[in-house]
Amino acid sequence: MKKKLTEDKVFYHVKLSKAMLSGALTAVLPGDPGRVEKTARMIDPDAVFLVSNREYTSWLADLSGHKVLVCSTGIGGPSVSICMEELAALGITSFYRIGTTGAIQDHIKIGDLIITTGSVRLDGASTHYAPIEYPAVADFDLTLSLLQAASNLDIPHHKGISASSDTFYPGQERYDTFTSYVPMRFQGSLNEWKQLNVLNYEMESSTLLTIASVFGVKAAMVASVIALRGKQETPDDKILPLAEKRLADCIREALSLHLTGDSYS
């Protein structure tokens, strides 16, 4: 039987307590700790810093009277799993992941948004929660809010399946590596995912979506394209300001729709 959580219990990694969240039920999860303040202030210019520990930096925003937590996760599935475990225990029931990505399909352009409906589970962390046959699918309502937000703001966007890899280099079939070698299981995989209409590579969605379904909470994923795979191996940092602005604009509008219920009408 679960012990009742006290308001002042601080969780080991995120260093947050229920009291610090002030009733927040929704969290926005960027990967980069350096993106947290910018995202929080785009949601609420008066957002406040809470705490920073390891890869987990948190700010608290207010949107139309609703508290929203913005908490970084770092890179990859294992750190996402820790964050979700602790935030779910603190009462968070809706998780929006925002990040950057490399597109696979030729029709997708730099700066476009990709809204993930489901993920190819190329990670290991999600298998600690459910067998590989268990699907990694996004929550319908949260995904709808992201789609409606991007449409409302006229931000170019695409929806579909993402390939979610544990590694940035071999798992995404990059050859600009120390050895220039990609293990055989990943050789040709980029073209295979392209043929199977997978839209992009990223590193967190399969863990996020699998765990959310297992926990009975909601999760969705939106990413901004900063690399076009097949044309370039390395992301283009010059696009980051546009990528971050589009992500922040989209998530603020999506949160507004989600928190008011307008996206379900």
What are the residue numbers of the active site? 13, 86, 174, 229
CA distance 52 to 59: 9
CA distance 121 to 164: 6
In this structure, which amino acid lies at residue 191?
Answer: N
Token pair of 26, please?
A: 């929704």
Cite the beta strand spans of the chain per DSSP E.
26-29, 48-53, 56-63, 66-71, 94-103, 113-122, 136-137, 157-165, 200-202, 218-228
Burial of 137 (0-12, 13-18, 19+ CB in 10 A): middle
Sorted by sequence, the CB contacts under 8 Å of residue 188 that are 6+ apart come out as: 173
